[in-house]
Amino acid sequence: MDELLFHVTTPLGITIIAARRYWELVIAEKHPVLRGCEDQVRRSRKDPAVLLFYRGEFPRWLCAVAKVSGRRGFLITAYPTDAIKIGELVWPRLH
């Protein structure tokens, strides 16, 4: 089994995991700008089992995408974005 990079519980009580080897792929090949941010959570319009976790503020957010089943999930990818997707707002952060 691959070494676990993180194991976190989201504001929704869902545990998300990411393997170190997969995260290295994300920051090396997919989105290097993420190398070394959570204001709201939205549900994907295409797949209700996918949640999008946003952190940051305009004009740039970090979006972490996780596939969930019950109270467990795993990181699919993460990327910087200048727009928050329209999907259903599941959890707003209270300031």
pLDDT (0 to 100) of residue 83: 86
Cβ pair 63, 82 in contact under 8 A? no
What is the count of structural domains for the chain? 1
What's the pLDDT tens digit per position in 31-59? 776 665 445 678 899 998 999 888 877 67
Domain enclosing residue 33, as ranges: 4-92
- C-alpha–C-alpha distance, residues 71 and 48, integer Å: 14
pLDDT above 90 covers what percent of the chain?
12
Q: What is the mean pLDDT of residues 8-30?
A: 83
pTM of the model: 0.69
pLDDT (0 to 100) of residue 27: 77
Cβ pair 66, 73 in contact under 8 A? yes
pLDDT (0 to 100) of residue 95: 40
